[in-house]
């Protein structure tokens, strides 16, 4: 206790208005906004590089590999039809992974630059609570120091969920992190979980030539999204030769030499055995607060590891401590964490920002991409809301035909009475970019006809959105 009392009065103890723990998309964005608002800000990162899961082992590297695999797939299957004759393309996996790592490094540097530019003090080390007003920083060399903070933002993110009966050895039975560092292309990759991450990484290796088997407990792919999306995505991925074991409950996984065996029960309770050379476990992510010493701040995580926050301020039960991103309730999405990061910095500055959680888009970066915002058809049915549905397929779109990206559709759900757009679900080329239009429209509570009456450039993929809105308004799409 004597030591602690000394550290409190230590004239050299650094003091900040805002200390952010974690430099993922939520944390570093929050730090920038806090600095913009004039707060003396510090950010603590456990790893040597900035950017968190998203940048290092998530969104960015997986997109780098998705695009590489897509190029390869096109070279093998589509170049000839485009009139480009090339010798049979070969995969240089080492280069592919190296390029991905280069992308990540470039982005790491980008964040460090932004921290410097905004005069944010960066600390590398493990941040943990010392009290509700101080954070202890333990550096890699074992030394430590205590930072005083008027406000502390917890942005420690999440880690892949691991089940006890699946022995992840990070060599043959792997998580998404290892899937981004492969040294060989699997011959048969068994993917446990066909949600967003499983679909993305599974499709990468399917395009690079792996046989991919998806084992999923739910009835279809990406089960949290509108059912039409799951069905369409399955059709596209099936074309890559993938196999699907839906309504299957995994009971065990084991490794023998280079062979992985996954056992599962189908809906009828019958045991199914699948053998491959790699097994990728993508059953979800858990909030990550390990080593944070929440108790010292008077905080406790709930039974799912999340930190409870006030809906209006994102403040935890302890005044001056806030939490954002994957460690709090809501979708585990980088852009949701970013919104919350900005939100909290503005709350600390006494402003009253808003986040419309219903309008945070969900995206799956497969090819074709899947994107959605607002309510699914299932949710509207459950809520008893009368709605109209309008869809438009990409294959009827000039631009899609020209590019040979004809898989997919846009589906618009609108209120039966007011025509207000309640949900937009799209699967197809560039859906991830196109969903922004739906978000803008819905933030302004546009009707389907409003969007249908706005000019959309021709020929573009966005015409599918206009046509789907026409269809939703009164079944009068022009090109269907």
The site for other proteins (CB under 8 A) is made up of 17, 35-40, 118-119, 150, 349-354, 356, 381, 383-386, 415-420, 443-447, 449-450, 453, 473-474
- Whichever of 283 and 380 has its CB closer to other proteins, that residue is 380
Distance CA 281, CA 326 (A): 19
The secondary structure of 447-461 as a DSSP string is BHHHHHTS---SS-T
Q: Is 160 helix (H, G, I), strand (E, B) or coil?
A: strand
- Whichever of 36 and 261 has its CB closer to other proteins, that residue is 36
Q: Minimum distance from CB of 224 to other proteins (Å)?
A: 22
- Whichever of 317 and 474 has its CB closer to other proteins, that residue is 474
Question: Within 118-156, where are the H helices?
Answer: none
Catalytic-residue membership of 82: no
- If residue 41 lies in a helix (H) or strand (E), which one and from where to where? strand 41-45
Q: Decide if 242 contacts 195 (C-beta within 8 A).
A: no
Q: Minimum distance from CB of 307 to other proteins (Å)?
A: 25
- Whichever of 251 and 474 has its CB closer to other proteins, that residue is 474
16-21-24-28 Cα dihedral, nearest 10 degrees? -10
Distance CA 25, CA 326 (A): 10
Q: Are strands 271-276 and 285-287 parallel, antiparallel or unpaired?
A: unpaired
Distance CA 148, CA 153 (A): 13
Q: Decide if 251 contacts 263 (C-beta within 8 A).
A: yes
- Whichever of 168 and 385 has its CB closer to other proteins, that residue is 385
Q: In the structure encoding, which two tokens stand for residue 333, read together?
A: 């999405």
Q: Minimum distance from CB of 431 to other proteins (Å)?
A: 23
Q: In the structure encoding, which two tokens stand for residue 471, read together?
A: 């269809």
- Whichever of 440 and 478 has its CB closer to other proteins, that residue is 440
Q: Minimum distance from CB of 448 to other proteins (Å)?
A: 10
Q: Minimum distance from CB of 118 to other proteins (Å)?
A: 7
Q: In the structure encoding, which two tokens stand for residue 252, read together?
A: 């065990």
- Whichever of 331 and 385 has its CB closer to other proteins, that residue is 385
Q: What beta strand segments (E) does 143-248 contain?
A: 144-154, 158-160, 173-174, 188-192, 211-215, 243-245
Q: In the structure encoding, which two tokens stand for residue 29, read together?
A: 């964005």
Q: Minimum distance from CB of 41 to other proteins (Å)?
A: 9
Q: Minimum distance from CB of 13 to other proteins (Å)?
A: 14
- Whichever of 23 and 473 has its CB closer to other proteins, that residue is 473
Q: Point out the catalytic residue in the list 77, 82, 458, 479.
A: 458
Q: Minimum distance from CB of 455 to other proteins (Å)?
A: 15
CB atoms within 10 A of CB 199: 26
- Whichever of 95 and 382 has its CB closer to other proteins, that residue is 382
CB atoms within 10 A of CB 38: 9
From the centroid of its chain, how far is CA 156?
15
Distance CA 155, CA 53 (A): 11
DSSP 8-state symbol, 146? E
Q: Which residues of 169-184 are buried (b: 16+ CB within 10 A; e: fewer)?
A: eeebbbbbebbbebee
Q: Decide if 307 contacts 316 (C-beta within 8 A).
A: yes
Distance CA 439, CA 400 (A): 22
Cα distances (Å, whole numbers) of residue 349 to 155, 320, 343 = 18, 12, 10
Q: Minimum distance from CB of 383 to other proteins (Å)?
A: 6
Q: Which residues are catalytic?
A: 458
């Amino acid at each position: 206790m004597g030591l602690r009392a000394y550290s409190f009065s230590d004239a050299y103890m650094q003091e900040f208005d805002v200390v952010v723990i974690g430099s993922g998309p939520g944390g570093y964005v929050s730090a920038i906004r806090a600095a913009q608002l004039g707060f003396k800000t510090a950010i603590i990162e456990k790893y040597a590089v900035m950017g968190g899961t998203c940048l290092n082992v998530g969104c960015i590297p997986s997109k780098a590999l998705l695009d590489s695999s897509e190029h390869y797939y096109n070279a093998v299957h589509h170049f000839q039809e485009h009139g480009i004759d090339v010798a049979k393309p070969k995969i240089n996996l080492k280069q592919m992974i190296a390029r991905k790592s280069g992308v990540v490094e470039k982005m790491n540097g980008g964040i460090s630059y932004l921290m410097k530019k905004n005069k944010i003090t960066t600390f590398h080390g493990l941040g943990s609570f010392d009290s509700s007003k101080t954070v202890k920083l333990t550096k890699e060399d074992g030394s430590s120091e205590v930072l005083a903070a008027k406000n502390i933002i917890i942005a420690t993110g999440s880690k892949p969920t691991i089940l006890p009966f699946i022995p992840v050895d990070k060599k043959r039975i792997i998580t998404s992190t290892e899937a981004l560092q492969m040294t060989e292309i699997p011959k048969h990759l068994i993917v446990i979980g066909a949600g967003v991450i499983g679909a993305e990484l599974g499709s990468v290796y399917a395009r690079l030539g792996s046989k991919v088997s998806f084992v999923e407990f739910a009835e279809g792919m990406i089960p949290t999204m509108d059912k039409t999306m799951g069905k369409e995505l399955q059709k596209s991925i099936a074309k890559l030769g993938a196999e699907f074991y839906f309504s299957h409950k995994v009971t065990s996984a084991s490794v023998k030499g280079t062979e992985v065996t996954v056992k599962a029960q189908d809906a009828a309770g019958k045991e199914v055995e699948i053998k491959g050379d790699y097994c990728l476990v993508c059953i979800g992510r858990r909030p990550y607060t390990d080593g944070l010493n929440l108790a010292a701040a008077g905080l406790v995580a709930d039974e799912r590891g999340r930190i409870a926050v006030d809906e209006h301020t994102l403040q935890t039960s302890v005044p001056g401590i806030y939490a954002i991103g994957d460690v709090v309730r809501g979708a585990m999405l980088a852009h949701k964490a970013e919104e919350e990061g900005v939100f909290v910095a503005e709350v600390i500055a006494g402003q009253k920002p808003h986040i419309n959680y219903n309008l945070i888009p969900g995206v799956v970066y497969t090819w074709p991409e899947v994107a959605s915002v607002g309510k699914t058809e299932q949710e509207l049915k459950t809520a008893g809301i009368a709605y109209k549905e309008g869809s438009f397929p990409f294959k009827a779109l000039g631009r899609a035909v020209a590019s040979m990206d004809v898989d997919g559709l846009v589906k618009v759900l609108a209120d039966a009475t007011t025509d207000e757009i309640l949900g937009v679900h799209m699967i197809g080329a560039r859906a991830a970019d196109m969903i922004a239009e739906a978000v803008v429209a819905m933030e302004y509570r546009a009707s389907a006809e409003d969007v249908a009456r706005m000019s959309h450039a021709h020929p573009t993929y966005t015409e599918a959105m206009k046509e789907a809105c026409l269809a939703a308004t009164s079944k009068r799409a022009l090109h269907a």
